[in-house]
Amino acid sequence: MSEPLLEVRHLSKNFGAVQALQDVSLAVAPGEVVALAGDNGAGKTTLIKAISGVYRPSSGEILLKGQPVDFGSPQEAREQGIETIYQDLALADNLSIGANIFLGREPMRRAFGFLPVLDRRKMAEAAKETMALLDFHVNRMEAPVSNFSGGQRQAVAIGRAVYWNAQILIMDEPTAALGVPEQRKVISLIHQLKAQGRGVIFISHNLQDIFAVSDRIVVLRRGVAAGERRIAETTHDEVVKLMVGG
């Protein structure tokens, strides 16, 4: 395996008395899709939130291209090329697609040669291009995203990560709220990201999706790494056994 893009070493996280993660390690190589699986409450979301700067680990290390990192915020993780699409999405409902893509990173231009103003045209064009790239189509690009369906909102979140050229994309259940055609699009998009040499961490409860797109699977059980397999060398049955234990 080439040098990992991302490495998590012996990471633990507790919320007061709740030990959400204990001594979990994980690596993602360039062009590799790693699935993260496990029952409800296994610690999947907590792990990716630790990687993406939402939570500070209680102990353990995170390395990016071999360098230890300690993100104080999701913003810091984004600046280092880690884009995360959360289960709860975190779009600003009242803003347009373009404004969501640029949320916190708004492009400015100079009006009359000096006055800094928001570059709305650039935002609108980026939104249009990005959504076209994903082959997702909505009628009213400038409408607030609260007008869109769950699947369309998911596409906006993925579009934002693609637009910012993330090296590592983390997706927490990206297909859960989608219809079958949109699920297929997300899966083919993940193949595309992989072909471009990006690293992807993909959380899903859907084994079919996991087997369709991942190189490896890491299974968590009650906060502990229950096993890791190459997708080519495992079966749905074995993964389920790792998830439920016994």
Ligand X SMILES: Nc1ncnc2c1ncn2[C@@H]1O[C@H](COP(=O)(O)OP(=O)(O)OP(=O)(O)O)[C@@H](O)[C@H]1O
Contacts with ligand X by CB under 6 A lie at 15, 18, 20, 38, 40-46, 87
Contact 12, 61 (CB under 8 A): no
42/126 with CB nearer ligand X: 42
Among Mg ion, ligand X, none, what binds residue 15 when CB lies within 5 to 8 Å by partner kind? ligand X
CB atoms inside a 10 Å sphere around CB 61 = 14
Longest dimension (CA), the chain: 70
- 42 or 123, CB closer to ligand X? 42
Q: What is the 3-state secondary structure (H, E, C) of 78-122?
A: HHCCEEEECCCCCCCCCCCHHHHHCCCCCCEEEECCCEEEECHHH
Task: Choose from ligand X, Mg ion, none: what does 144 bind? Cβ within 5-8 Å by kind.
Answer: none
- Pick from ligand X, Mg ion, none: which does 18 bind, CB < 5 to 8 A by kind? ligand X
β-sheet bridge partners, residue 170: 84, 201
> Is there a contact between 219 and 26 (Cβ–Cβ < 8 Å)?
no
Residue 36: name its binding partner from ligand X, Mg ion, none (Cβ under 5 to 8 Å by kind).
Answer: none
- Single out the residue of 5, 21, 35, 45 in contact with Mg ion (rule: CB under 5 A): 45
User: For Mg ion, which is the closer residue by CB, 45 or 167?
Assistant: 45
Closest by CA position to 89, among listed 13, 151, 164, 163: 151
**Residue with Cβ nearer ligand X (74 or 81):** 74
- Answer yes or no whether residue 52 interacts with Mg ion by CB under 5 A: no
Residues of this chain that interact with Mg ion (CB under 5 A) are 45
